[in-house]
A and B are shown apart, each in its own frame.
Chain A
Amino acid sequence: MGRRVVITGLGICAPNGIGLNDFTRALKEGKSGIRFQRQLQDLNFGCQIAAEPLVPDNLVNNYFTPLQLRGLNASGIVYGVIAGTDAWKDAGLPIATNDSPDWDSGIIFGTGILGVDKFRESIHLVDDLNVRRLGSTTVLQTMASGVSAYLGGILGCGNQVTTNSSACTTGTEGVLMAYERIASGKAKRILTGSCSDSGPYVWGGFDAMRILPRQYNDNPTKASRPMSASAAGFVPGSGAGALVLESLESALVRGANIYAEVLGGAINSGGQRGEGSMTAPNSEAVQRCIVQAIASSGIKKSDVDIINGHLTATSKDALEIENWSKALELSGTDFPYINSFKGLFGHCLAAAGSIECVGAILQFQENQIFGNVNCEDVHPEIESQISPSRIPKKTEKYTPKIIAKASFGFGDVNACVIFGAFND
């Protein structure tokens, strides 16, 4: 155990709300960010719905200079910079204005693939023998670390500035990477988060895998059905979430608002062995990850009040519940409350972990557990393991002390983080 680490800033650019106020209200009221996408219909996608943040044109002027906006065609960078800058401001941190960066602050901001639309633009130019027309920002917008590079320059961070990538685990992994760097004394503050681009070139591969719902094109808000017997696949999404992690010492010195404490966590992989594969999880690894996260946090298994699951709305949801139940050795009415926000904004891929961590943490401040949508018909294999009363269908008044958040990703990778209410 190293230094204690707390969360002092949150930022969000989600399909169902940009900014903490809108996002919190959307989670409370069950407002969906899943919409019909004309472009996907025109391109003959099976799944013609998706969840993307609706960023007003004038909003980006608050975050980017006119020069940065010229030729900017990387939606992930837009989402990431909005969420990241907001989290920094929410933490009450200054933007380094002089020649010297803030040596104690770093950035670990992940993504799966970045600047896909910019990349498409440049592919056409290159193939048309027009490589000279690419301009100076094609590289910056399409390199994976583009999002942390833009944020690093805007905020003036002088500690580690990097981008992690582990598929749908990315955002949750980033929180733990930030936690470890601060706990070990290598940084005082890390802005962590993750982003994912919008659009057919990101989502197409999933449509081809036939893992997206196809029968809800005219009923988008009902399409994403985590834990439901009628779950039909995950709805593709995009956006960004961001969190400022900070040593408790630094937060107290600054008199910062503390949302929660990061008590611990674990990251592992199933090695694509046993039942694990590139796309399916090895349950033993998932359970080990949860058990290790609990152990590293110095809490008992029965201390977990709320689980915010990965729960993408596929047939694997029941297996995830089984893994939680076995790892925590809790079932029936003893099982903690569990929710999945994916019913409201689908699966935001690399951005999922960070967006959902932000949502999970907001439950401490609101003294509520946010409700699940589209699971009025809980899957029988889930009902046989845990009491339906543990799956709230509406937002309820509740004061959690411990929230566990996990994300699992392609490549058989897992991350589980344990957040605790802060009251010293």
Chain B
Amino acid sequence: MNEERYTRLKKIIKIYLPEDVSVDDISAQSHFINELNINSANLVDIVLDVEDTFGIMLENDDMDQMQTVHDALLIIDKKLTDK
């Protein structure tokens, strides 16, 4: 796992966490909705933030597959490699 990308991703996720979940609760295996209790409507915002932060563009399929922090990192790695 690329630590730098993981840190940047955590920084993106932070603002979407509900009050009772802290940034320290995030792990690579965390499920955005089920474990981090992020409002499902905000997943589209996380995708936009990821695109802006990493200079990539995600397809609909990528978004469907992005269930956990780990999923997101894999997609980011792949997009950056393909770039």
Interface set of A (CB-CB < 8 Å, partner B): 66-67, 70, 133, 135-137
Contact = CB atoms under 8 A, between A and B. Distances in A.
B6 to A, nearest CB: 21
A136 B45 contact: yes
A178 B48 CA distance: 41
Contact of B48 (A66, A67, A135): A135
Interface of A is mostly: loop
Interface of B is mostly: helix
15 contacts: A66-B15, A67-B15, A67-B16, A67-B42, A70-B15, A70-B45, A133-B48, A135-B44, A135-B45, A135-B48, A136-B41, A136-B42, A136-B44, A136-B45, A137-B45
Interface in B1-54: 15-16, 41-42, 44-45, 48
B52 to A, nearest CB: 10
A136 B15 CA distance: 14
Contacts of B44: 135-136
A161 B45 CA distance: 27
A126 to B, nearest CB: 15
Contacts of B41: 136
Contacts of A137: 45
Nearest to B43: A136
Contacts of A133: 48
Contacts of A66: 15
Nearest to B40: A136
Nearest to B57: A132
A382 B18 CA distance: 59
A66 B18 CA distance: 11
Contacts of A67: 15-16, 42
Contacts of B48: 133, 135
Nearest to A66: B15
Contacts of A135: 44-45, 48
